[in-house]
Amino acid sequence: MERSKDKIIVLKGKDSGTDAMLKIYQGCTEIIEVYEEEEICSLLREYGGQIKMIVADAGRAEQETGKFLERLRESGYREDYPVIGVAVEESNLIRVLKNEADTDPLTKLYNRRAFKRLVQKELEKEPVKAAFGIVDIDDFKVLNDKFGHKFGDEILFQLSKQLRECLGKDVLAGRFGGDEFVLFWTNLESRQDERVIMEEAEHICGVMRQEFMGIRITGSLGIACFPYDGETYDELFRLADKALYLAKDRGKDRFVIYGRELV
């Protein structure tokens, strides 16, 4: 059975279209155009998690749109459907859509699809040396179950913010899903750059050591190097994942580089 497409709800004005969105999302997303806010509430109830985004197109008055979106947030829809964009000009609409298409709404890191696309683009460059990392919050499920999803989301938000701040411009960062983050270091010149990766890994593990509401948080990290360990995105992910689980087995709150300890 074919998977149902994600949906974008467009709050339309009188004289504008959705060509910009259709070009960006063609083939993977259904655009639903509405003129009244009551229709949006009905669609949210009907389609639930299939709704990816709510936007206002260029023909909608800015003041009217702002008031409507504020009413949605007050009704709790922002919590369930966090990607709500406002665009009063077509150029802004394109910018909003491109950004939201690539970004995880909670952490503001690249989402899984965008991260994979960008990594594969880097791997196509010749010559290139790079490293792939997977970061996992230790015992996150236990914390989430014990203290609730809002507590878990706050941990994800705060840790991702600090990761963004500590990583250099040559590092891609994404949220793979749940409590897993993915990293990709580019522009590594030689095997000697493993020292740089080790320093980065130690720093990341340090960033993951946090305390929220008296609860100690730690993270584990697994790394695989290109081209020494693997030559494709899938190979690097698989080997970094193996290294991650070795870090977990050794007591968590640490990192493992695949080529150094797993062959």
The full set of domain ranges for the chain reads: 6-102, 112-261
pLDDT the model gives residue 78 = 44
What's the topology of domain 112-261? Alpha-Beta Plaits (3.30.70)
* pLDDT beneath 50, residues of the chain: 1-2, 61, 78-90, 191, 262-263
Comparing CA positions, the residue from 229, 214, 221 lying closest to residue 247 is 221
Whether this prediction's pTM lies above 0.75 is answered by no
Cα torsion 188, 192, 197, 202 to 10°: value is: -160
- 6-102 architecture in CATH? 3-Layer(aba) Sandwich (3.40)
Angstrom distance (rounded) from CA 127 to CA 193: 15
pLDDT for 68 equals 62
What's the pLDDT tens digit per position in 91-121? 555 555 566 678 888 888 999 989 999 999 9
At residue 39, the pLDDT reads 80
The CA distance from 17 to 197, in Å, is 48
Q: Give the pLDDT of residue 193.
A: 65
Task: Give the pLDDT score at 38.
Answer: 73
Distance CA 202, CA 196 (A): 10
